[in-house]
Structure 1
Amino acid sequence: MPTHRPSQEKLTLISANVRGLQTNIGDLAHSFIIPHNPDIIATVETFLNPTIPANFGHIQEYSKWHRRDRAHGTFGGIAVCFREGLTIEALEVEMDRHLEMMFYRLWTSRHDTILLCVCYRPQWQGNDPIHFLHTNIDTLLLQHSCNHLIVVGDMNQHLVARQFEDLLTEYSLNNHINFPT
């Protein structure tokens, strides 16, 4: 387990569907990152691919972007970065390649551990991502000794409303987005 822990008592996070990180990183930085100074920046629909350099869009005082570019086709993709000094561990989680998810373990100043899942569920994907979470969250929490769970991203939950509500209920999660995005 890493030894450095942040001194703050709360964790701040920005989750954004950027619909193209290359074209929208300036707006993201100036409208949200600079004014709010979050600990975690989680973006979906990055539209990045392997031709985009790994150091693209580096933000001062943050880690490099951890990316999961879409394996096939265009659009989609996930990118996450963390404030320097935040104690995180990227987790290798075995899943079908078409699932657009990334998992991290974070340590808080109170020595709690958080399992962070960043997820993009494209409209065409059905309930595969939600089924994966239902099937694997307990195992991941136990395997990585996590006390808390945060799931962020774009689940397009209006298309899988029942499965989404079941996930929220089963894990006592709260959906903080209650309006169309």
Structure 2
Amino acid sequence: MDKNVDKKNQRRYENFLLFNARSLKATVEEKVSGLPHVVKVTKLDLFIDYMHEYKPTIAVVVESWLNANISDDDLLIADYQSPLRKDRAGMTGGGILVYVRNNLPCKRLVELEDQLYETIFFSVTFPTNKTFVISACYRPDWVDVTASTNHLEKSLFEIRTKATYKFTNIVILGDFNAHCYEWCETKSSTSEGKHFHEFDILPTKDNISDVNKVIVLPKLYSKCDHDVVQISYSFLNTPIREYKWCIYDYRLTNWDLFRQELSNIDWFGLIHRLTLHDIVAAIENKISEIAYLVTPHKYITVRSNDKPWFTDKLRNMSKIKHDLYIIKCQQKTYTAEKEYMQASKKFEQECRREKKSYYRKLSTDMNTSSKRNKQIFLCINSPK
């Protein structure tokens, strides 16, 4: 049984781990279980034991302090894929390392990254076929916070508006060297923290995922100056289904060839001694075989979470709404708030209209297809 699934509540739980290492290969003196004295071990050795104990789904390490002299083979952890990494170029410090469990399809999205900023973008598909786009980030205190958040905004906009990105959730994990009171009320916002705000992503607001809890785990070692944070993510355990459909273009069908193929069949021999049910099935299968041969067709894959009604017009409206949201957060005026709310309402209305229009057209096409089926029946029964 999968321990990450709560069958009673039909929810699945995935744990993400975040750790600021300040040099993963550095040596520390630590008391090890079973030995009477302290020993010198690397933080990486302790981190590997930590991973085996807590078994996170995904682990993000910032300030890895790695370089080209350290190979990926030196960083492997059992049950996890070869880590995604981004080392700081030209100077010591910084860097990001990401571990993803072996059983999860993972793809790095390099096109969303920028060499000027320490970020790694990647997508992970979970057993329920939900796909998360995840950003692992580290912002050193000497990197301009406005430029850093603008980079994230730009990447998020790319994810939200380009049809090439298929996702159900967006998650950002990292150390921003900033404190935001709106997120955590332990202390006032720092000047850097005031630059951060909730990203408004309306197209995914209808998802059923949420952060279940955030806890601080025991320190990696006794003198560690950064806590390890675990984020538990939960979502309804409803798998996304895929269906393969064969689409026929009957307008380009060679009907003369269709009739010819039908006339070549020994129908009596086909249905001889069959039950009525089997006769119907045999005739249907034979007609389908001929239609497949004489009618142009293609296969498509349809997912239960697809939004084929989300048009370029809606993407453009989403961009406008997003820009107005940024202005609202920056200016905090009545006018900016009003303009954003109007754009948001208009966008939601257009989403409903496009969705209704799409499925109405689909219904019409299906009715037209039924008429075509009647035409095929007439072709079969028409005198030669």
1:26 to 45, 48, 65: 45
Distance 2:166 2:112 in 1: 18
2:155 to 136, 145, 156: 136
In structure 2, the residue matched to 1:4 is none
Q: Secondary structure at the match of 1:139?
A: helix
User: What's the CA shift for 1:109?
Assistant: 2.2
Residue 35 to residue 177, structure 1, CA distance change in 2 (3 Å): closer
Q: Does 1:91 align with 2:109?
A: yes
Q: Does 1:148 align with 2:143?
A: no
TM-score when normalising by structure 1: 0.83
In structure 2, the residue matched to 1:3 is none
Distance 1:28 1:48 in 2: 15
Aligned length: 171
TM-score when normalising by structure 2: 0.41
Gaps of 5+ in 1: 1-6
For the pair shown, which has the larger CA radius of gyration, 1 or 2?
Answer: 2
- Percent identity, aligned pairs only, is 23
In structure 2, the residue matched to 1:160 is 192
1:78 to 88, 96, 102: 96
User: What's the CA shift for 1:142?
Assistant: 4.0
In structure 2, the residue matched to 1:125 is 143
Counterpart contact for 1:71–1:98, Cα < 8 Å: no
In structure 1, the residue matched to 2:342 is none
1:45 to 38, 52, 63: 63
Distance 2:104 2:168 in 1: 17
In structure 1, the residue matched to 2:271 is none
Q: Does 1:113 align with 2:131?
A: yes
Single out whichever of 86-95 and 61-70 deviates more from structure 2. 86-95
1:37-82, CA deviations, whole angstroms, 9 ceiling, x for partnerless residues?
1111110100001111121121111111211000221100011111
Residue 146 to residue 18, structure 1, CA distance change in 2 (3 Å): same
Residue 115 to residue 20, structure 1, CA distance change in 2 (3 Å): same
Q: Secondary structure at the match of 1:123?
A: coil
1:67-121, CA deviations, whole angstroms, 9 ceiling, x for partnerless residues?
1000221100011111111111111124431200001111122222111000010
User: What's the CA shift for 1:10?
Assistant: 2.4
Counterpart contact for 1:76–1:122, Cα < 8 Å: yes
1:170 to 193, 200, 205: 200
State the structure with bigger RCO (CA 8 A, min sep 6), 1 or 2. 1
Counterpart contact for 2:80–2:100, Cα < 8 Å: yes
Q: Which is helix-richer, 1 or 2?
A: 2
Gaps of 5+ in 2: 6-11, 27-42, 180-190, 217-225, 228-384
Q: Secondary structure at the match of 1:130?
A: helix
Distance 1:106 1:96 in 2: 20
User: What's the CA shift for 1:35?
Assistant: 1.6
In structure 1, the residue matched to 2:119 is 101
In structure 2, the residue matched to 1:12 is 15
Distance 2:140 2:200 in 1: 23
Q: Does 1:59 align with 2:80?
A: no
C-alpha RMSD of matched pairs (Å): 2.6
Distance 2:123 2:54 in 1: 23
Q: Secondary structure at the match of 1:152?
A: strand
Given residue 55 of structure 1, which amino acid in structure 2 is its aligned partner? D
Distance 1:34 1:138 in 2: 36
Residue 141 to residue 113, structure 1, CA distance change in 2 (3 Å): farther
Q: Secondary structure at the match of 1:117?
A: strand
Residue 39 to residue 95, structure 1, CA distance change in 2 (3 Å): closer
Distance 2:46 2:16 in 1: 17
Residue 142 to residue 111, structure 1, CA distance change in 2 (3 Å): farther
After TM superposition, the runs of 4+ consecutive aligned structure 1 residues lying more than 4 A away are 171-178
Distance 2:167 2:141 in 1: 30
